Structure 1
């Protein structure tokens, strides 16, 4: 994921469209052009030298001038070409972001702001591209100037020193043919080298560090029914988002134990490290230390082996272009009956049956033909299908209406009662019935106990108590009541 965090979509699109297009289409044509022109030039120079071998002196002089002129031009144009390629990426990024947020832009009437931003980005690119064209034309002008001087020297020498008529005519016509050819040949050779910046940019992606092994072998491969209990141990776990071992740690030496079937709420201020715990669990970043699930160290497992056994219902529901069946079961692991059963549990069976094609019905890009609530229910159905013992909820009901919220909460309580659940909470009332609350602050675990204990024990850090208190008197009383009821229910159970 580090690659996608550090490379915006515009930069990736740029490499795979414009840069790859230059490598595949422009580079071969320019290379053939350069080879043909320089072979023709070599033939012309040989003809002129054969007529009068003294012409080798001005030819060498002009060749040396062209060599230094080309080097001087290339040092500038190559860097301008890089700048032109770099300033092209934000155009793709801006266009992609604008298309994705078109509804929001129109609802806020922000079109003039976006148009102004786009014009500014395009002006930057146009300025770099114009500068590239200008340097190319200036280079051509100086080449023409020295070519004309060379022809003048060749022609004048025949008048001064004389020569056979046929040979003189041949040498002069060949020298005249050089004018356009030398300029075009030198410009094409420079263009060849400039186009190699596209190769340089594409090859740069060849050195991207791959993820770890997708599947482990031998004893490291977990059995099909793993994990059976959902017992999770974080053992001195630290996490960083950058591959550099000296990079700043986002999570620092986390040490805690989540018992099988426990429901854990994770709370904290913005940037406290809540989502980073999920990153660590799925090994999306760089972990130091261990996460042990049912006595197996996840660091030693294949990524597919681990990630397929941990379900997640994200805050922003993710759907792909394709059929409903593909979105529920992308690897064709389950029967149609099981898919219909999962859809029935989230009350989407009738909606999907009414679609043209049923399970083969088309889902548009990002699930645009479904409401946000329905998309979240499809993600819930996906989690139900997998029947994993570990479930992660990233405030799955933050963007849905109250009815869908109630349906999701009741389905999770009933369907995942025997699972270990980790819930990242953005609203405190959603985790008041959890067995324990994990309070994060600056990447460290500061409190870890039941909501009832944290709201009534004022001898500790009081971070959770302070967060609850800030919600207002009436909400605080409501939270205390919910925590007390959940505590009483657990005691009776």
Structure 2
């Protein structure tokens, strides 16, 4: 289905050319694709029994619905002929048929809704599980908003289709049943009534192309307005700081007005079919009344049949109207299914080999051997980088922005694959060991820690089985215990989204405690002290000695004073190692590290051009 689009043989860092970012990929309509339909309905496999029961209930409901007008006609005929026995018998059958219709209709609706929820639950779970494994190279190049649109909007379109498709079977059966009954009761009048159907199909064919264009414009306008709204909500702090409220309002009002016009047009196109069907229903009933009335007067047609015809014609266009709506739902579902399965078909490029080893009882070393790596083909970030971090050694990676520091730690954790060379952990190529064992043995603390909604205790424990005592001990070791106890509920305090109800520094301290509780053999810190004030940093520096004890550590830092006690400092520039050694050795070498450390700004990003005296370097960085 998506082989031509997604190119399953793409490299690990190359984002598959899915249509996540293209307007075509978000087209609200699609044509019927049997491959999409088969794949979608394959999710019905585990629920085959429920599906069959649902279809039986729907078909019984349709059969009851078709029978009722005929019984009404028989009641009228019996009353006309003053046949009391026939009248009473027919009334009993009518009550039984009405009761059967109510029960079957209710069961069909309830069962179809429950079945749709179960299938959609399976699809959501499959998508969520797949997103857990998709390589970061795909996530780096994909808008989160579009991913959420597929997880929510597109899945909801499939749910709507599944709920309506079971009803479509009943509507189609009802339409066929009514058509048969019309012809059986009176061939001439039945065929005359059915002549209205081609007119409806022709009108629908003329309406559909215009409706597609109108609905597509409405979808685009809604997406634009919602994007502008989300952007302003996310940036409300900046908006209020710069007093830009009025300008933003004017910009948003223009987009909202465009959305208003587009939605009005879409609403008009949606509603135009309703009076059209009503007019055709009126025409059909008029034909029945005029032609059928003359037949009744000429004694060629019974009054009961005439009454049954009127009821059948009145109900005939209800399934037509519903099938017309379901056709639109089907088109939308085909487009949604294509986008969903397109994501599910994104290849998982970072995965375990069949014979991958689990890291157990190993020497915690990290080694790079002639590693070349780039996020895009032909644009390497690292060039033939080689170094080795020995067991329980603290190595600092320093260098200007874009020099490849973060790439090194990402490759250590095998978030990406190297272009050339090897990355070894514990003497094993990271491609030969299981991802789970890498995750258990390598801990990371990032510059911007991500905390989940929930209690502080849960965030520190995370994916370990640590006890409350171990959590408190870890928090004390990193100087987080005091501020946690000052919170209203202590360790049971609920954190908001991304932990934004506490300060940045406090979030960082919690991430330190989380890393300490995980007790990894290899610890990586990526600017982990950048967002902590100087007073807190003094306590953190003491806590780091506890955290580093007995572990192999790799530290990225821009403030050079924070890593002067490292066993070894590796200086990177433009993806190459230009010098390495201890703080004392690098100071005596009087190279780039010495010049930056002795400058007024002990940071690689502060006045790096002045420190190097390289104007070309300034342009590149």
TM category, shorter: 0.7 to 0.9
Match of 1:321 among 435, 440, 453: 453
Residue in structure 1 matched with residue 471 of structure 2 by the alignment: 339
Match of 2:371 among 237, 242, 254: 237
Residue in structure 2 matched with residue 366 of structure 1 by the alignment: 498
Residue in structure 1 matched with residue 389 of structure 2 by the alignment: 259
Q: Secondary structure at the match of 1:258?
A: strand
**Alignment pair present for 1:5 and 2:137:** no
Q: Tell me the TM-score normalised to structure 1 length.
A: 0.74
Show the 5 A alignment for 1:267-416: 267-288=398-419, 289-355=421-487, 358-413=490-545, 415-416=547-548
CA contact (8 A) 2:288 2:309 kept: yes
Inter-partner Cα distance in structure 2 for 1:64 and 1:286 = 60
Unaligned runs of 5+ in 2: 1-135, 608-621
**CA root-mean-square deviation:** 4.5
Count of matched residue pairs: 463
CA contact (8 A) 1:319 1:367 kept: yes
Inter-partner Cα distance in structure 2 for 1:221 and 1:357 = 40
CA contact (8 A) 1:241 1:286 kept: no
CA contact (8 A) 2:281 2:314 kept: no
Match of 2:266 among 128, 132, 147: 132
Q: Secondary structure at the match of 1:308?
A: helix
Q: Secondary structure at the match of 1:392?
A: strand
Q: 1:7 Cα deviation (Å)?
A: 4.2
Residue in structure 2 matched with residue 191 of structure 1 by the alignment: 328
Q: Secondary structure at the match of 1:290?
A: strand
Q: 1:306 Cα deviation (Å)?
A: 0.5
**Alignment pair present for 1:426 and 2:558:** yes
Residue in structure 1 matched with residue 76 of structure 2 by the alignment: none
Inter-partner Cα distance in structure 2 for 1:213 and 1:252 = 23
Instruction: Describe the shift of the 1:38–1:414 C-alpha distance in structure 2 as closer, same or farther (beyond 3 A).
Output: closer
Unaligned runs of 5+ in 1: 480-493
Instruction: Describe the shift of the 1:414–1:221 C-alpha distance in structure 2 as closer, same or farther (beyond 3 A).
Output: closer
Inter-partner Cα distance in structure 2 for 1:277 and 1:124 = 47
Inter-partner Cα distance in structure 2 for 1:219 and 1:303 = 9
Inter-partner Cα distance in structure 2 for 1:51 and 1:218 = 72
Q: 1:400 Cα deviation (Å)?
A: 1.9
Inter-partner Cα distance in structure 1 for 2:257 and 2:399 = 43
Higher deviation after alignment, 342-351 or 294-303:
342-351
**Alignment pair present for 1:438 and 2:575:** no
Match of 2:344 among 178, 200, 206: 206
Q: Secondary structure at the match of 2:474?
A: helix
Inter-partner Cα distance in structure 2 for 1:447 and 1:74 = 65
Q: 1:209 Cα deviation (Å)?
A: 3.8
Instruction: Describe the shift of the 1:58–1:371 C-alpha distance in structure 2 as closer, same or farther (beyond 3 A).
Output: same
Q: 1:293 Cα deviation (Å)?
A: 1.6
Inter-partner Cα distance in structure 1 for 2:580 and 2:569 = 5
Q: Secondary structure at the match of 2:329?
A: helix
Query: Deviation per CA, 1:441-462, whole angstroms, max 9, x where unpaired?
Result: 1xx315232466767768xxx7
Q: 1:310 Cα deviation (Å)?
A: 1.6
Inter-partner Cα distance in structure 1 for 2:552 and 2:444 = 12
Q: 1:146 Cα deviation (Å)?
A: 6.1
Q: Tell me the TM-score normalised to structure 2 length.
A: 0.61
